[in-house]
């Protein structure tokens, strides 16, 4: 979502019309966001307030994907969450066992309420054997005025300080593409990934083997695919171009 259909709280010109065209043509779609600082209801209300005609079923976040992963692959494991109250609330609602004593997993998200106490707790848990799982790898989060520091630098800090390797759940993990396909009830052959980031959006599309549209309305610049060795199917200035 960030950088593709809006920046901050401002819709990218043509984005609402593009989503409207999808609905007119009965083309299924989901918004994939790595931003785990807020829950699906937050993103739904944000989109509705900007005038997008969407429902909560159209939204899939890295938090949703992380919960699915924990339930499927770390069932019963105790989790120390590094995240916002909204993030922790989603984990609690989903029945993930949370603890601040001897966790099996340190779950790192985009925590806009991070404190030194959280950082130090997580570090000590990791040094004593907890597994590091991160909701996504993004270095920067787009805003209306530029970018904020995202989760990536914190992942590298914990990996370096605690001598661990993080398990990344969100984009570019192809698991997100699989979840999107299941949500829309479509096959990979009929999917197109639209995004503004090479190392998450376009990498996921390449790894999952689906078609891709890179938009230049967010982080990506025109020469990025060549430098990254990833070739999007199509490159456009914004989703407004797809209306034409």
Q: Rounded distance, CA 177 to CA 171, Å?
A: 8
pLDDT band at 38 (very low <50, low <70, confident <90, very high): confident
Contact 171, 71 (CB under 8 A): no
In a domain, 67, yes or no: no
Do both 195 and 162 map to the same domain? Answer: no
In a domain, 69, yes or no: no
Exposed, middle or buried, 60 (CB in 10 Å: 0-12/13-18/19+)? buried
For the sheet with 167-168, list strands across it.
Answer: 79-82, 105-108, 131-134, 167-168
Q: Rounded distance, CA 1 to CA 49, Å?
A: 14
Q: Which pLDDT score is estimated for 244?
A: 81
Contact 240, 13 (CB under 8 A): yes
Q: Rounded distance, CA 124 to CA 74, Å?
A: 21
The whole-chain average pLDDT of the chain stands at 93
pLDDT band at 147 (very low <50, low <70, confident <90, very high): confident
Do both 40 and 112 map to the same domain? Answer: no
The 10s digit of each residue's pLDDT in 43-95 is 999 999 999 999 999 999 999 999 989 999 999 999 999 999 999 999 999 99
In a domain, 104, yes or no: yes
Do both 200 and 177 map to the same domain? Answer: yes
Q: Which pLDDT score is estimated for 70?
A: 95
Q: CATH number for the domain including 233?
A: 3.40.50.1000
Do both 179 and 162 map to the same domain? Answer: no
Domain boundary among 150, 168, 186: 168
pLDDT band at 240 (very low <50, low <70, confident <90, very high): very high
- Signed CA dihedral, 117, 119, 121, 123: sign only: negative
Do both 109 and 154 map to the same domain? Answer: yes
Do both 79 and 20 map to the same domain? Answer: no
pLDDT band at 242 (very low <50, low <70, confident <90, very high): very high
Does position 39 have pLDDT exceeding 90, yes or no?
A: no
pTM of this prediction?
Answer: 0.82
Do both 178 and 151 map to the same domain? Answer: no
Beta strands in 175-230 (DSSP E): 192-195, 211-215
Q: Which pLDDT score is estimated for 223?
A: 81
- In total, how many domains does the chain have? 2
pLDDT band at 140 (very low <50, low <70, confident <90, very high): confident
Domain boundary among 151, 168, 185: 168
Do both 56 and 177 map to the same domain? Answer: yes
Do both 37 and 104 map to the same domain? Answer: no
At residue 167, the 3 state secondary structure works out as strand
* C-alpha torsion angle, residues 58, 31, 64, 130 (rounded to 10): 180
Do both 144 and 184 map to the same domain? Answer: no
Do both 157 and 196 map to the same domain? Answer: no
Picking from 149, 240, 238, 147, the residue whose alpha carbon sits closest to that of residue 196 is 238
Picking from 157, 110, 83, the residue whose alpha carbon sits closest to that of residue 2 is 110
Quote the percentage of the chain above a pLDDT of 90.
Answer: 76
The 10s digit of each residue's pLDDT in 89-137 is 999 999 999 999 999 999 999 999 999 999 999 999 999 999 999 999 9
Contact 3, 237 (CB under 8 A): no
Full domain range(s) for residue 118: 75-168
Mean pLDDT score, 168-190 = 91
């Amino acid at each position: 979502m960030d950088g593709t259909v809006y920046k901050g709280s401002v819709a990218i010109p043509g984005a609402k019309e593009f989503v409207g065209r999808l609905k007119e043509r009965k083309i299924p779609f989901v918004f994939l966001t790595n931003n785990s600082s807020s829950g699906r209801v937050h993103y739904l209300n944000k989109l509705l307030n900007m005038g997008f005609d969407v429902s909560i079923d159209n939204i899939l976040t890295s938090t949703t994907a992380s919960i699915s992963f924990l339930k499927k692959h770390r069932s019963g494991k105790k989790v120390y969450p590094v995240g916002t109250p909204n993030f922790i609330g989603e984990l609690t609602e989903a029945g993930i066992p949370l603890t601040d004593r001897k966790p099996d997993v340190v779950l790192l998200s985009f925590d806009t309420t991070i404190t030194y106490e959280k950082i130090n707790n997580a570090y000590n848990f990791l040094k004593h054997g907890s597994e590091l799982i991160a909701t996504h790898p993004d270095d920067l989060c787009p805003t209306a005025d530029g970018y904020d520091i995202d989760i990536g630098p914190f992942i590298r800090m914990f990996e370096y300080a605690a001598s661990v390797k993080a398990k990344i759940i969100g984009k570019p993990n192809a698991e997100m593409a699989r979840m999107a396909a299941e949500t829309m009830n479509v096959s990979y052959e009929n999917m197109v990934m639209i995004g503004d980031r090479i190392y998450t959006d376009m990498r996921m599309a390449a790894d999952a083997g689906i078609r891709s549209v890179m938009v230049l309305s967010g982080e990506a610049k025109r020469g990025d695919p060549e430098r990254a060795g990833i070739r999007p199917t199509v490159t456009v200035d914004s989703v407004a171009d797809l209306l034409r």
